[in-house]
A and B are shown apart, each in its own frame.
Chain A
Amino acid sequence: AQSVTQPDIHITVSEGASLELRCNYSYGATPYLFWYVQSPGQGLQLLLKYFSGDTLVQGIKGFEAEFKRSQSSFNLRKPSVHWSDAAEYFCAVRYGGSQGNLIFGKGTKLSVKP
């Protein structure tokens, strides 16, 4: 079955430190890849997406992600974390030929130490 794996349930980083959140997807042709952020009590906000082209994509709030087909990965990065980045991060995939829904990973909760 098609799936998305976020291996880290909870990550804690110090403010100002760099961040990398991992995401792997099961094999599938032409995946469309997304990262969403959900702050406590809030809805989902799209950080960035990858459909095709340049494998390094830039998103909002200083986030970027790199698509690596050989590793079936789409890791999210940020060079310097701010306290306001503390939230839950979800990786999601839409596979080509599906009915259009997203498949979500289980999420990674990010805590930021002062």
Chain B
Amino acid sequence: SAVISQKPSRDICQRGTSLTIQCQVDSQVTMMFWYRQQPGQSLTLIATANQGSEATYESGFVIDKFPISRPNLTFSTLTVSNMSPEDSSIYLCSVEDRPNYGYTFGSGTRLTVV
């Protein structure tokens, strides 16, 4: 299965600032997914990133707040912009391991906004 390197693993940020999270995959993948896991909650899909096209955002998430880049088939970034304490969460990237349709997740970025 694919191996994902996600960084940073954690960060503490001041409100009003932005943080960019990176995910590097060791193989080429078509789609990458970004999830948010709020404290004590399940995973919620933020957006799907395809190489060469704009990311598709889920209801409740907007590009201005969570801009995503996907410059090639092995790399993606998620930026959390103009942060507030409500953005404190774990952010995870994921890829779909074809052809067996398994999914691999990055180790997550634990973000605390103060």
Instruction: Report if A74 contacts B (CB, 8 A).
Output: no
Tally of chain A residues near chain B (CB < 8 A): 22
Q: Is the interface of B mostly helix, strand, loop or mixed?
A: strand
A99 is contacted by which of B31, B94, B103, B106 (Cβ under 8 Å)? B31
Q: A51-B100, A94-B101, A99-B56 are in contact. Are A43 and B92 (CB under 8 A)?
A: yes
| Cα separation A49 to B92 with both chains bound (whole Å) | 20
Residues of B within 8 A of A99 (CB): 31, 48, 56
Q: A43-B108, A44-B92 are in contact. Are A102 and B42 (CB under 8 A)?
A: no
Residues of A within 8 A of B87 (CB): none
Residues of A within 8 A of B12 (CB): none
The interface bits of chain B over 26-45 (1 if a CB of A lies within 8 angstroms of the residue's CB, else 0) are 00000101000000011111
Residues of B within 8 A of A92 (CB): 103
Establish whether residues A101 and B107, one from each chain, have CB atoms under 8 Å apart when the complex forms: no
| Cα separation A100 to B32 with both chains bound (whole Å) | 9
Establish whether residues B42 and A106, one from each chain, have CB atoms under 8 Å apart when the complex forms: yes
| Cα separation A90 to B94 with both chains bound (whole Å) | 15
Tally of chain B residues near chain A (CB < 8 A): 22
Residues of A within 8 A of B66 (CB): none
Q: A90-B43, A106-B41 are in contact. Are A43 and B105 (CB under 8 A)?
A: yes
17 contacts between A and B (CB under 8 A): A32-B101, A34-B103, A36-B105, A42-B107, A43-B107, A44-B43, A46-B102, A49-B102, A99-B31, A99-B48, A100-B31, A100-B33, A100-B96, A101-B33, A102-B103, A104-B44, A105-B42
What would 11 more interface pairs be, CB under 8 Å, given A44-B92, A90-B43, A100-B48?
Answer: A34-B102, A43-B92, A43-B107, A49-B101, A100-B31, A100-B33, A101-B33, A102-B94, A103-B45, A104-B42, A104-B44
Interface residues of B (CB under 8 A from A): 31, 33, 41-45, 48, 56, 92, 94, 96, 100-108, 110
